[in-house]
Structure 1
Amino acid sequence: MSTWSQDAEEISREAKASKLSGRVHIIGLGNAGTFIAHSLAARQSPPPITLLMHQASFYQTFRRKKRSLAVNYNGLDDNRTGFDVEILEDKVWRRIPSREEQHDAQEEDEMYENDQNFHEEEEGHIECLIVCCKAYMTEKVIRDVRHRLSPNSTILLVQNGLGIVEKLNRDLFPDEHSRPHYMQGVLSHGLKKQDSYKIGHVSVGSLILSPVVTSHTPLIEAERDTHWAPTTKYLLRLLTLTPSLVATADTPAGLLQYQLERLTVSSVLGSLGAIHDCKNRDLLHNYAVSRTMRLLLLEISSVIYALPELRGIPGIEDRFSPERLRRLVINVAANRPEDASSLRNDLRYQQNTEIDFLNGWIVRRGEELGMKCVLNYMIVQLVLSRMQMISQREASAVPIDFENVILTGDNTKDD
């Protein structure tokens, strides 16, 4: 028996021993969510997977794609099926089973059109929830499943930005004894959307995972007395043994450092790209932009140095020095010159942005530490002002009333 098969059987035995169903629920089928769901389905022994969709229209598109998720590797599509789907309708989650569960001869269209054929999952407990939506949407989407989560549940957040866990604890789970457990991940695979529920795998990266310690005390001290929940252990083992994810487990302190590097790049390239409405290449070899980057990085570096979570960890001064962060940002821009930041795309499509979880997080943590991050505060306000200008411009656009347009050469009237 292969090692892979043995690992799959061991995961299954551990889940049964902990009285877990092993089911994984996933919210957010953008690039990251699609890749993770597809990778889990590609396992030799895939776990039961449920895709949570907040609109029926999402499922209709998914059904037209033959209920499959596709990842294009080197020009070849790899399609995976077998997903259960739950749709939120009238504040009730309704389940549509995978094709494998549909043993009768009833057509799926008929099953979808007749509400009586849905299986209501209103009280269905969620053990492992993977959330891959934008940071600003996280609180809303988790609110819809809050009643299905318990202190035995584990939520994995794979997103850009920081401060999300603190917001969830403040707004959704204020009682620390009843809140679920958290994990966070940093995904570095190169992914590009090609179609609905289809992405291209551009470059191999990794998924770095760690349970979350919700404390601003030094993480190297908080880690020593922490015991992970069964659902946390199960999800961590499941993902790290899924080959295509190239996932590794790290300590909370180790993960935070990767998150801070990612946040730094997004707070500089992402924010400046959104403000200037440009791609990464346009931010290179521009003296004015370079000066702005250096000043931003001085503030960001100062805040990171002062974080109590990182106290006592060796090498922080070198890893997060302004010069080392500058080289990191420049390397990303040079290696991905045609990339446009998600902040820029959000503004173009008049969507909310993650700015509060990027430069906004730097500003908030700086204030907590007695530091005024005026440059990062200015960047936040510039992005917000640009968003407001775009919205006002669109709202003031003169609509065209096609019904009352008189076409040239058609000026005759009936008597």
Structure 2
Amino acid sequence: MRFHVLGLGPIGCLLAHHLRQTVSNHHSITLVHKSTKYAANAVNPSSRVLLERNSIVVPQSGFQHETFDHKVEPTTSKTTPIESLIVCVKAHHTVNTIRALLPRLTPDTTIVLMQNGMGIYEALIREIFRNPDRRPHFVVASITHGAFLKDYMHVVHAGVGGIQLGVVPEHGADFEASYPHMSLADLGERTPRSDTLRHTVAALTGLAALNVDWQSFYTIQMALRRKVVVNAVVNPLTALMDCKNGAVLAHPSGRAICERVCLEAANVFRAQHAADLRDVRASSREHNTTFPFQLTKDALVQEVERVAQVTANNYSSMLMDIKRGRTTEIGFMNGYLCDLGKRHNVQMPTNSLLMRLIDLRTRIPVHL
């Protein structure tokens, strides 16, 4: 089995380290670097993926290395099909980076999406994998670990959380036949096409130190919706105010903005739920008609407050992007909610304003 980790930020390094530590050396793990310079340094014999936790640094070696446009090690071939691709690049880079790897992706490939935000899978389907018969398997994940890079390929695991993953449904396949206790048998008979999905799910769920949990796709969608609302509050406010996560709800003004974002999100999720019910009734399929409490305004506010408290001393990824002059992921957070609003005719003034403010912030030089 050939695993490729695309994107060596905090989550990419965290996953690569634990994956290499867990799976047999018979399975290759290739780190896909963003430039030849980084990859060339990485193949240095003294180079390792370093994982730091509680001031203890654990090195991990045994990786192969590639870039998008240059083969670094002769042991890997740029024409070799990719069997399992774990995607950890920023949300707005996903489509272009996967497009660059498209000649090596097949319908047998399994792609795991491990990013912040929502709408990434939909963008890939819309822009790259339009034909469902030629589409790879997809696994989506929600991550609550806290991590940051101390240096390239040196990740600090600052807060232990978990990873929930779900397999995107495919036509004619029931990947959740034994729900709520899914097993690898649910992924179908052993075939070249199902094997990559089976091995990928087995490898990820075997990462005990990362608390990986295979959930139903419905459960993952719920977790991702709640997380995107948390990000839609915490990320833009911390980026605009240049503060740690815990400061955004420490004052009445911050809490008021949080409540407005959550109200708009709850309204659009309710409209989406109603539209799904109409589609279900038209097709005579079964569906839960009750709107989930977890997506109500009060529940969303509580989740934002919980995450802001747990990560109170952390700096958000959007704030760091602003400071480094990088493009933010706002389009897959507040932007995703605004797109849902347009689709279901729900007004999203607070989310729209936050998007515009972040756009303005990125166009004004930051004085460090």
Q: Which of 229, 235, 257 is residue 222 of structure 2 equivalent to? A: 257
Q: What is the Cα deviation at residue 263 of structure 1?
A: 0.6
Alignment partners' CA distance in 2, 1:315 and 1:75:
47
Alpha-carbon distance between aligned partners in 1 of 2:45 and 2:351, rounded to the nearest angstrom: 43
Verify the 8 A CA contact 1:193 1:200 in the aligned structure 2: yes
| Cα shift at 1:65 | 7.4
Q: Does 1:155 align with 2:111?
A: yes
CA distance in 1, matches of 2:134, 2:23: 35
Asked if residue 350 in structure 1 is aligned to residue 325 in structure 2, the reply is yes
Q: Distance in 2 between matches of 1:279 and 1:73?
A: 21
- Give how far 1:307 is off: 2.5
Q: For residues 45 and 321 of structure 2, what CA distance do their matches in structure 1 show?
A: 26
Q: How far apart are residue 388 of structure 1 and its match?
A: 1.8
Give the match for residue 127 of structure 2.
171
Match for 2:71 among 94, 97, 100?
94
Question: 1:127-146 maps to which residues of 2 (within 5 A)?
Answer: 127-146=83-102
Q: Distance in 1 between matches of 2:256 and 2:170?
A: 35
**Distance (whole Å) between structure 2 residues aligned to residue 210 and residue 33 of structure 1:** 18
Q: Can you list the C-alpha shifts for 1:190-248, whole angstroms capped at 9, x where unaligned?
A: 22322221112223221111112389xxx999x9xx96633212201111122222211
Root mean square deviation of aligned Cα:
2.7
Report if the CA contact (8 A) 2:268-2:340 is conserved: yes
Question: Would the alpha carbon gap of residues 74 and 316 (structure 1) be closer, same or farther in structure 2, given more than 3 Å must change?
Answer: farther
Identical pairs, percent: 26
Is the radius of gyration larger for structure 1 or structure 2? 1
TM-score with structure 1 length normalisation? 0.76
Aligned counterparts of 2:300 and 2:276: Cα–Cα separation in 1: 17
For residues 146 and 259 of structure 1, do their structure 2 counterparts lie closer, same or farther at Cα, with a shift above 3 Å needed?
same
Match of 1:39 among 14, 18, 23: 18
Confirm or deny: 8 A CA contact 1:304 1:320 kept in the other structure: yes
Q: Distance in 1 between matches of 2:252 and 2:16?
A: 43
Partner SS, residue 256 of structure 1: helix
- Correspondences of 1:197-208 after superposition (within 5 Å): 197-208=153-164
Deviations 1:325-384 (A, max 9, x none): 112112222222222221121111111111110010001112111212122112111111
Cα pair distance change 1:331/1:125, threshold 3 Å: same
User: Which amino acid in 2 is paired with 1:85?
Assistant: H
Give deviations 1:98-153, integer Å, cap 9, x for gaps: xxxxxxxxxxxxxxxxxxxx467232111110010110111111111101001111
Unaligned runs of 5+ in 1: 1-21, 97-117, 395-415
SS of corresponding position for 1:383: helix
Shift of 1:86: 1.6
Contact kept? 1:220, 1:313, Cα under 8 Å: no
User: Partner letter of residue 150 of structure 2?
Assistant: Q
The 3-state SS of whatever aligns with 2:228 is helix
Partner of 2:65: 85
Structure 2 letter corresponding to 1:331: R
Paired residues, number: 343
CA–CA distance in structure 1, aligned partners of residues 355 and 176 of structure 2: 32
1:65 and 1:351, CA in 2 relative to 1: closer, same or farther beyond 3 A? farther
Contact 1:161–1:354 (Cα < 8 Å) also in 2: yes
Taking structure 1 as reference, are residues 239 and 119 closer, same or farther at Cα in structure 2, changes over 3 Å only? closer
State the distance in 1 between where 2:307 and 2:134 align.
41
- From the superposition, tell whether residues 148 and 253 of structure 1 become closer, same or farther in structure 2 (CA, over 3 Å): same
Letter in 2 for 1:55: S
> Which residues in structure 2 correspond to 1:234-383 (within 5 Å)?
234-308=199-273, 312-313=287-288, 316-383=291-358
Answer 1 or 2: higher relative contact order, Cα 8 Å, separation at least 6: 2
After TM superposition, the structure 1 = structure 2 runs for residues 160-239 of structure 1, keeping only pairs within 5 Å, are 160-213=116-169, 229-239=194-204
- Give the Cα separation in 1 of the matches to 2:63 and 2:3: 10
**Does the CA contact (< 8 Å) of 1:220 and 1:253 recur in 2?**
no
Contact 2:64 2:76 survives alignment (8 Å): no
